[in-house]
């Protein structure tokens, strides 16, 4: 009998790989789980705005924002229309923006455009999945000849900036996009061809910060008529999102947990138990539960679930002694950061942080009681933490000089050690634990 986690993963992977439903039927008969975002007859569910960042919009006074949005919608109605179930723009005016925000989702749509047009799709309010006239020689120097579908506003030479292949159909024919976005991880299929493979979409508005956790879908207008039809979205559950993330390159990882018992683990084994396929720290207990093998450079993956106010940690290069936060290279916090009892912590104590040394970006944890997916890369003195598809920490601990409470970290320079969990009396759960050694 398949365990629940594997069954969910198998079903979701099969659904994504199949990709066989006909987009032409989305408006009237969307596939299971998909909801149309264009009704084929009106602009209901949409508002209008120009190229403006979410932060700038939020900073406006309420009355100013309301006035601007009314103005933009009035302008949009001069350039957007509905014809025969198609959403049509003449290449001018504000963009159309969904009223609803999306977090983890799959977007399906079709578009058709004309020579010299240049458009795109903003995801989470951020530019953009590019749409080109791939024959326009004037734009070859900025990638037009490479085709549509790339994350064109990513930095140069980053994954996803340019499409892997040119998959555009001839101008005048309908093209079909299938876009999956989990956190900042973005995958794009154009006409059933993979053109962006699980790339991080950058925050164009603030490149020092991650892509927003949630945001609207936006249809750009830019220089020529474009038609849209059969727009539909499937919002992904936490389990579906985790399955999507964990399926990527899963074959290169070695499982550390058999889902049944603590075989392969050492340390505080009496303080942990296996319940419903997850390793659980017993309430009121703690200590380090560690792998039997040591690891130097590695990538570790784990799903975890926090009870309200839950506190645990990931021990990195531990020697099995003392406090992982100090005697290991570091302890990466596993914490219900938004619980009220933690509102006054130091920034270096919240979830994903290298405890007392480097602060992770907050705001990307799922609510307590939901499973999160985390990937940790340890390479020399560098540590990267990716939570639910978003990088929340990317730091070099050799540069850490200012320590919380001026307390030294004697294990900081460790180059090898055990990986595991550092419990702090709360029943935090872990499952689907795997690791990959790096050179």
Which pLDDT value is given to residue 223? 84
Pairing, β 417-424 against β 429-437: unpaired
> What are the residue ranges spanned by the domains of the chain?
4-243, 252-437
- Does residue 324 surpass a pLDDT of 90? yes
The phi, psi pair for 349, rounded to 5°, reads -110, -5
Place of tokens 């199949």: 18
C-alpha to C-alpha distance for 248 and 250, rounded to whole angstroms: 5
Q: What is the pLDDT of residue 2?
A: 36
What is the rounded average pLDDT of the residues 289-309? 98
Question: Which uninterrupted H or E stretch holds 334?
Answer: strand 330-335
- Interstrand relation of 86-89 and 193-200 (parallel, antiparallel or unpaired): unpaired
Tell how strand 35-36 and strand 226-235 pair up: antiparallel
Q: What is the pLDDT of residue 30?
A: 73
pLDDT tier at 28 (50, 70, 90 boundaries)?
low
pLDDT of residue 4: 35
Q: How confident is the model at residue 151 (pLDDT cuts 50, 70, 90)?
A: very high
Say how many CA atoms lie within 13 Å of 332 toward its Cβ.
28
Q: Are 50 and 95 in contact (CB under 8 A)?
A: yes
Beta strands in 159-213 (DSSP E): 175-182, 185-190, 193-200
Residue 29's pLDDT is 67
Place of tokens 């590019």: 130
The fraction of the chain above a pLDDT of 90, given in percent, is 91
Topology of the domain covering 252-437: Jelly Rolls (2.60.120)
Q: Which residues contact 184 (CB under 8 A, 6 or more apart)?
A: 200, 201, 202, 203, 210, 211, 389, 390, 391
pLDDT, residue 98, reads: 98
Q: What is the pLDDT of residue 19?
A: 41
| Residue 340 pLDDT greater than 70, yes or no | yes
Q: Is 104 exposed, middle or buried (0-12, 13-18, 19+ CB in 10 A)?
A: buried
Instruction: Using the structure block, give the residue that is written with the tokens 């969910």.
Output: 8
Q: Examine domains 4-243 and 252-437 and report if their fold is the same.
A: yes
Residue 185 predicted with pLDDT over 80: yes
Given this model, what pLDDT does residue 31 score? 79
Go through 368-389 and write b for each residue having 16 or more CB atoms within 10 A of its CB, e for each that does not: eeebbbbbbbbeeeebebbbbb
Rounded to the nearest integer, the mean pLDDT of the chain is: 93
How many helices (H) and strands (E) are present in the chain, helices listed first? 5, 26
Tens of pLDDT, residue by residue over 212-256, are 999 999 999 988 999 999 999 999 999 999 999 999 888 999 999
Q: How far apart are CA 22 and CA 121, in angstroms?
A: 21
Phi, psi of 55 (to 5 degrees): -65, -45
pLDDT digits (tens, 9 = 90+) for 362-418: 999 999 999 999 999 999 999 999 999 999 999 999 999 999 999 999 999 999 999
**Averaged pLDDT for residues 112-130:** 96
The dotted CATH code for 4-243 is: 2.60.120.560
Residues with Cβ within 8 Å of 113's Cβ and at least 6 positions away in sequence, in order, are 119, 131, 133, 171, 224, 225, 226, 227
Model pLDDT for residues 52-91, shown as the tens digit of each residue: 999 999 999 999 999 999 999 999 999 999 999 999 999 9
Query: Taking 70 as the threshold, does the pLDDT of residue 11 lie above it?
Result: no
Which pLDDT value is given to residue 22? 41
pLDDT at 14 over 80: no
What average pLDDT does the segment 16-35 reach?
A: 58
């Amino acid at each position: 009998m398949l365990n629940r986690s594997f069954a969910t993963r198998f079903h979701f992977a099969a659904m994504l790989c199949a990709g066989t439903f006909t987009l032409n039927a989305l408006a009237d008969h969307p596939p299971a789980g998909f909801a149309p975002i264009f009704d084929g007859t009106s602009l209901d569910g949409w508002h209008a705005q120009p190229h403006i960042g979410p932060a700038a919009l939020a900073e406006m006074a309420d009355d100013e924002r309301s006035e601007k949005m009314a103005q933009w919608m009035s302008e949009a109605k001069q350039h957007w229309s509905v014809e025969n179930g198609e959403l049509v723009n003449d290449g001018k005016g504000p963009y159309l923006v969904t009223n609803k925000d999306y977090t983890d989702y799959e977007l399906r749509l079709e578009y058709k455009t004309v020579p010299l047009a240049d458009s795109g799709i903003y995801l989470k309010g951020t530019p953009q999945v590019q749409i080109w006239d791939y024959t326009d020689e004037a734009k070859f120097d900025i990638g037009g000849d490479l085709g549509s579908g790339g994350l064109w506003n990513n930095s140069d030479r980053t994954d996803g900036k340019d499409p892997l292949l040119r998959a555009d159909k001839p101008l005048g024919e309908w093209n079909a996009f299938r876009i999956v976005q989990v956190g900042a991880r973005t995958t794009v299929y154009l006409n059933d061809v993979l053109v962006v493979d699980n790339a991080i979409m950058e925050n164009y508005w603030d490149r020092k910060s991650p892509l927003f956790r949630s945001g609207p879908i936006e249809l750009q207008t830019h220089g020529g008529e474009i038609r849209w039809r059969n727009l539909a979205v499937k919002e992904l559950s936490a389990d579906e999102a985790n399955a999507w993330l964990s399926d990527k390159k899963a074959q290169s990882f070695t499982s550390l947990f058999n889902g049944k018992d603590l075989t392969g683990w050492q340390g505080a084994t009496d303080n942990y138990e296996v319940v419903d396929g997850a390793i659980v720290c017993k309430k009121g207990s703690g200590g380090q539960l560690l792998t039997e093998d040591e690891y130097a450079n590695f990538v570790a993956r784990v799903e975890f679930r926090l009870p309200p106010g839950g506190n645990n940690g990931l021990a990195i290069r531990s020697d099995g002694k003392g406090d992982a936060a100090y005697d290991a290279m570091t302890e990466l916090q596993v914490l219900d950061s938004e619980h009220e009892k933690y509102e006054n912590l130091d920034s270096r104590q919240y979830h994903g942080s290298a405890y007392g040394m480097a602060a992770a970006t907050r705001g990307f944890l799922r609510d307590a009681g939901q499973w999160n997916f985390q990937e940790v890369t340890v390479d020399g003195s560098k540590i990267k933490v990716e939570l639910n598809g978003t990088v929340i920490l990317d730091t070099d601990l050799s540069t850490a000089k200012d320590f919380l409470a001026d307390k030294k970290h004697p294990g900081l320079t460790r180059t090898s050690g055990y990986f595991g969990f550092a419990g702090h009396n709360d029943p935090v759960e872990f499952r689907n634990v795997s690791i990959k050694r790096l050179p």
